[in-house]
Amino acid sequence: MNSGVELTVLLEQARAGDGAAGDQAFRLIYPELRRIARARLHGHQVPTLLDTEALVHECFIRFVSAQLGPLHGRKHFYSLASQAMRHILIDHVRRRQAQRHGGDWQRQTWDTRALGATAAAESLIDVDAALVALQQLDPALAELVELRFYGGYTEAETAEALGLSERTVRRQWAKARAFLLAELQG
């Protein structure tokens, strides 16, 4: 059985309650989820109290417990994982900024960059709002943004995941960035 089919079968079994299949699936996907999480947390310096492992574990738990329908292969799973990480990060930022959780109070940890942390959190929420607007206008462009921005995928990886040429990905990425920039500038 090839690894894409095996992963799909294992994930479906895990979602049906098979703990052993869940453990085996987690071992298969852990390196890629870790790469995506590291890109998300460190590449864009998202100010959360999550570390790479916590984001990977939270993503896997959400995915296995969600009722998402059938998986269409490994690439579909990683696309869903990128979306899940996006939602986890946005949820954490929103919770931290909520007034009932001391929204004006700024928590500092050793690994949080003191300068710009608040701006980065607000920026992440603004990007999410712009992405929701893009999703309504062009779902394919929104998926590309999720893979590139939230999944940390390169142009080549995005092209492979979406079944497009790298040139098309570059063109669509430029179009999506222009839309997002216009949304973010108001």
- Token pair belonging to 28: 């298969």
Q: pLDDT tens digits, residue range 113-141?
A: 443 444 555 677 788 888 889 999 999 99
Other CB atoms within 10 Å distance of the CB of residue 43: 10
Domain boundaries, the chain: 3-184
Average pLDDT of the segment spanning 62-82: 71
Find the farthest-apart pair of alpha carbons in the chain and give their distance in angstroms, rounded: 53
In the chain, % helix, strand, coil (3-state, to 5) comes to 75, 0, 25
**Tokens found for residue 139:** 């779902």
Amino acid making up residue 186: G
- Over residues 76-92, the mean pLDDT reads 79
Backbone angles phi, psi at 50, to 5 degrees: -80, 145
Nearby residues of 185 by Cβ (< 8 Å), 6 or more positions away: none
The larger pLDDT score, comparing residue 41 to residue 132, is at 132
Identify which has the larger pLDDT, 17 or 172: 172
Q: DSSP letter at 62?
A: H
User: Is a pLDDT exceeding 60 seen at residue 108?
Assistant: no
Of 4-8, 92-96, 113-117, the poorest mean pLDDT is in 113-117
In the chain, the percentage of residues whose pLDDT exceeds 70 is: 72
Task: Please state the pTM of the whole predicted model.
Answer: 0.58
Instruction: Tell me the pLDDT tens digit for each residue of 133-180.
Output: 999 999 999 989 888 877 778 889 889 888 899 999 999 999 998 998
Residue 70: band (very low, low, confident or very high) from pLDDT cuts 50, 70, 90: low
Q: What is the pLDDT of residue 167?
A: 95
The Cα 53–Cα 61 span in angstroms is 12
* 48-56: average pLDDT: 72
CB-based burial label for 181 (10 Å; 0-12, 13-18, 19+): exposed
* Averaged pLDDT for residues 26-38: 80
Greater model confidence, 166 or 23: 166
Count of CB atoms situated within 10 Å of the CB of 105: 8
- For residue 67, what pLDDT band results from cuts at 50, 70 and 90? low
Instruction: Identify the pLDDT of residue 139.
Output: 92
User: Which residue has 């990425």 as its token pair?
Assistant: 173
Q: Contact, 59 vs 84, CB < 8 A?
A: yes
Give the amino acid at 153: Y
Provide the pLDDT for residue 185. Answer: 85
Q: Which residues contact 27 (CB under 8 A, 6 or more apart)?
A: none
